[in-house]
Amino acid sequence: MNVSIPDCFMIAFFAGLIFGLVYEALRIIRLVLRFRAAVFICDAAFFILAAMAVCKLSEFLGNYVRIYTVIGFGAGVFTYIVTLGRLFNVLESAAAIVWRNTLGKLFSKIAALFKHVCVNISHIFKGFFDKTHKYYDKLTKKRNEHLQTPPTMVYNNKRDIMHGEGENTHVIKAKVRKGSRGY
């Protein structure tokens, strides 16, 4: 398709205005989820989607990525952000504050309920966990009582000497214990 430079610029400008809605959707996600990872992911997604949109638009307009197409697209997005975007920003900020306050109260009630349930469960099973721990300790002592010496860590010193490696790199550690498989 053979399109003149001003036409390419204006088509890209209007595509940028429309692409401002994508920015708006990602901005809503950023306002609701206020942690850094969400902001980074939304920003990265916007720039990746914008680059893909400019490439597809350039392909449609003549199979070349031209500077005036990129500038027109960017001008369209910028125009959207400083006009309609500002109006929507006020509305979205108010809605996000209400949403976060509502969710904050809901999550605090859910967290308190979860804490109450977990405390009750731990009190119910406290005796069971104590008996299990004592049984495990008894088995461990019984397993180790037949050893001549208590379990110790053994280092592969020959590897250290042969390869000049220190204790912090590639050291093989083994715990010596009695087992039925001959370890």
Banded model confidence at residue 85, pLDDT cuts 50, 70, 90:
confident
The answer to whether 12 and 73 are in contact (CB under 8 A) is: yes
**CA 41 – CA 64 distance, rounded (Å):** 29
State residue 183's pLDDT score: 46
CA-based nearest residue to 177, from 135, 156, 146, 133: 146
pLDDT tens, residue by residue, 141-176: 877 666 566 666 555 555 555 555 555 555 555 565
Residue 9 has pLDDT above 60, yes or no: yes
pLDDT tens, residue by residue, 54-73: 888 888 887 777 888 888 88
pTM attached to this predicted model = 0.48
Domain ranges within the chain, ordered by starting residue: 5-107, 126-175
What is the DSSP track for 82-115? HTHHHHHHHHHHHHHHHHHHHHHHHHHHHHHHHH
Average pLDDT over residues 95-109: 78
Banded model confidence at residue 34, pLDDT cuts 50, 70, 90:
confident
Q: What is the DSSP letter of 166?
A: -
